[in-house]
Chains A and B, each alone.
Chain A
Amino acid sequence: MIELESVAMSYGGGELLSDMTLRLLPGSFHFLTGPSGAGKTTFLKLCYGELMPSAGRLTLFGQDLRDMSRDDIAALRSRIGVVHQDCQFLDHLPLIENVALPLTVAGQAANTTELRELLGWVGLWSQRGALPPQLSGGERQRAALARAVIRAPEVILADEPTGNIDWEMSLRLLKLLVELNRMGKTIVIATHDLNLIRTTKAQVAARVLRIQNRRLHLAGADL
């Protein structure tokens, strides 16, 4: 699905990530850890085509990222759902329209029943008419997750999804991600929350990757 071969990423002359090799297989569950500024967000941005590697080969669903046009990358976003820590919305549109936005931009009509089910699944149906600034941090994260999965992507990339929410809400969000993984989705979560990783490993077979000294390592089982 997503394959990195000796991928490196440079910013302003300095190398942030180097010699990264990884294959993300369908249905796998990965955590990505590392100290702040290690390059976790950059790694995820590479995985959904927002950034182009400065060296190496990055293949997304069998297609080399370098060969992909801007429209190809836009189309790719229907197969990769992204959740950011500072999940951004269109603040002037109600929650339900924000969640359905991936369908709107694809020119597809939203099925009201399915939308209701989706918002019910993340526990936000009663908030459907609220504007994003009116939502709490946990509600925004769940809304971002609902938006990320509305087009049934094969891969979900989450960047510090529990960074701004309490432990109880983190577990609730984690439960949703584990459910998605059990449906066959590939999940990658960038986090430095070890408790979250331990809790997840008790439920699914998750691999833990660590970015250290610009390189990607498979973390030990002592987590």
Chain B
Amino acid sequence: MSGGGRIRRLLGGLSRPQGAARVVPPSGSTAHLTVLTAGAMAFLAVFALALSLASGRLADRWSEALARTATVRISAPEAQLEAQTRAVLAILDTTPGIETARALDAAEMRGALEPWFGPDLPIETLPLPQLVEIIESPERPFDAEGLRLRLAAEVPGAVLDDHTRWRRPLVEAAGRIRLLGLMALGLIGAAMAGLITLAAQAALAANGQVIRVLRLVGARDTFIARAFVRRFTSRGFVGALVGTACGMGAVAALPAADAAGGFLTGLGFAGLHWLWPLAIPPLAAIVAYIATRQAALRMLKGIR
């Protein structure tokens, strides 16, 4: 049997009614609507999840990359620049919490400015400040405020930039994007519950005769509700399974993350994060179960 045939048979088996669900007629437009809704919502949920996880990773990366580094900028007349650099390095060498400190050479300065000014920048002719890169000790952070005061007292042309003013808005922005992704997931779940409720109500209304017969032979509300709930839960699960698979395929097909591409090329799953979308079909089934059960019990209250 072909792979496609096997999948079709598996999905057919999952959505085939058993037990109480057999009392509900097998087909109808609501069946397709439920499967389609669950599939579409699961597809969107995969992207919302990818967005959320990617922004989380980005926030961590920015946070980590910027948190352990700082820069001292030395602006001084050319004759004093070297002496001031030595003085700064001496101060940094004795400052607790600093793992390494080194002055950037001309090539590194050119590399840092290249994205803005191009490769042929005559760096020697420009009055650029000297930059000293600081790597913070992972065990203990250095006292940025104390270092700033000490530099101001001993090397007036040196300014410490600990990247806080860059880092905070970036991390905040990434956190907001993550929150938006989570909100989108919540809205997708609510929209799916609403649509499945409507489909379940339509199915209940269309199966009035079935409900009357079941009532006549002594079926309780829970039995009748169960018959519809099983049907809709399995449809929700199957639809979400297909939607999730398509969504994961689409995310996998996105361009791979690279440093130059920045955020957009990093939109995807990494490592164990690929397991997260697998939670979507069971969650969709739970949403379908709750939505259908509530719709069914509410409607059955009106029928004796």
* Residue in B20, B25, B215, B220 whose beta carbon sits within 8 Å of that of A71 in the complex: B220
> In the docked arrangement, what's the CA distance between A49 and B221, Å?
15
B215: chain A residues at CB < 8 Å are 50, 74, 77
* Residue in A75, A77, A88, A104 whose beta carbon sits within 8 Å of that of B209 in the complex: A88
B23 adjacent to A78 (CB under 8 Å): no
A74: chain B residues at CB < 8 Å are 215, 218-221
- Asked, given contacts A74-B218, A74-B219, A106-B218, whether A50 binds B23 with beta carbons under 8 Å apart, the answer is no
A93 adjacent to B22 (CB under 8 Å): yes
> In the docked arrangement, what's the CA distance between A126 and B221, Å?
33
B23 adjacent to A77 (CB under 8 Å): no
B220 adjacent to A70 (CB under 8 Å): yes
* Residue in A70, A71, A78, A90 whose beta carbon sits within 8 Å of that of B213 in the complex: A90
| Chain A contact patch, size range | 20 to 34
| Interface membership of A210, Cβ < 8 A | no
* Residue in B25, B26, B219, B301 whose beta carbon sits within 8 Å of that of A105 in the complex: B219
What's the minimum C-beta distance from B15 to chain A, rounded to whole angstroms? 16
A82: chain B residues at CB < 8 Å are 216
B219: chain A residues at CB < 8 Å are 74, 105
| Interface membership of A147, Cβ < 8 A | yes
* Residue in A50, A52, A101 whose beta carbon sits within 8 Å of that of B217 in the complex: A101
**26 CB < 8 A contacts A-B:** A50-B215, A51-B304, A70-B220, A71-B221, A73-B304, A74-B215, A74-B220, A74-B221, A76-B218, A77-B217, A77-B218, A78-B218, A84-B216, A88-B213, A90-B23, A90-B25, A90-B213, A97-B22, A101-B23, A101-B217, A102-B217, A102-B218, A104-B23, A105-B220, A147-B217, A151-B218
Chain A residues in contact with chain B, CB under 8 A? 49-52, 70-71, 73-78, 82, 84, 88-93, 97, 101-102, 104-106, 147, 151
Chain B residues in contact with chain A, CB under 8 A? 20, 22-23, 25-26, 209-210, 212-221, 223, 301, 304
